[in-house]
Structure 1
Amino acid sequence: MRKTMLATTAAVLTACSAAFAQGTVVIDPAPTGSIVLPGEVRTYVMEQQVPSVVYEGDVVVGTTLPETVEIHEVPNVDGYAYTVVNNRRVIVEPQTHRVIEILE
């Protein structure tokens, strides 16, 4: 009887710990080196119709675009601007023109 009670207790504890582990999964929404772009910024930028600028070279996160590339600030949200480069919409830091995300 005691073995049965111990086995039952062990089974219950195992089931509870598995259920608890499933309820506490942590997901990192921003892998190292990336940002979490507010949804309203993404939506706004994707809806805008601006001409594409031709840029020689690869446009990747971290690229600093020349001052000659016209950027457009996102209204009512500080710290985000955008442009379209080589037919790709990019989010840039307004002060530095550094690409912080490429929207696909």
Structure 2
Amino acid sequence: MLKSMIVASATLFMSTAAFAQSTVIVSEPPPPGAVVVREMPAQVRTYVMQQSVPSVSYQGDVLVGRVLPQDVDVHVVDGYNDYAYTVVNERRVVVDPGTRRVIQVLD
């Protein structure tokens, strides 16, 4: 009985330790090339989905973290200067206006 209690306690402790290791707290800027996902306000998504802009043809996949070329026009979201949008290959894309890096692809 005592042995099974020790094993159960050890198992519980190990699973708690493993869970704690999956939590990451970042206090420094991410390394170059890292993909950073940030939560986007719902109002930004609503605004972008309501806008009518022509789609731009782009070779390759449009993915989160990818930087759009300078010849792709992006439009700043009214009231949210940290977000811009465009439509690429018939898909609405939210980008960081400073870096032109894709934040989210909306469907």
Q: Pick the aligned partner of 1:92 from 90, 95, 105.
A: 95
Q: 1:33 to 1:94 in 2, by over 3 A?
A: closer
Per the alignment, residue 51 of structure 2 pairs with 48
Q: Do 2:36 and 2:65's aligned partners in 1 also have CA atoms closer than 8 Å?
A: no
1:35 positional shift: 1.8
Q: Which string of whole-angstrom CA distances, capped at 9 and with x for unpartnered residues, describes residues 35-73 of structure 1?
A: 211011000000000000000011100110001100000
Tell me if 1:34 matches 2:56.
Answer: no
Q: Which amino acid aligns with 1:42?
A: R
CA distance in 2, matches of 1:103, 1:36: 13
Superposition TM-score, scaled by structure 2 size: 0.65
The structure with the largest strand share of the pair is 2
CA distance in 2, matches of 1:45, 1:90: 8
Q: Which amino acid aligns with 1:86?
A: N
Q: Which has the larger radius of gyration?
A: 1
Unaligned runs of 5+ in 1: 1-31
**Percent identity between the two aligned chains:** 55
Q: Which amino acid aligns with 2:87?
A: V
Where do 1:64-79 residues align within 5 Å? 64-79=67-82
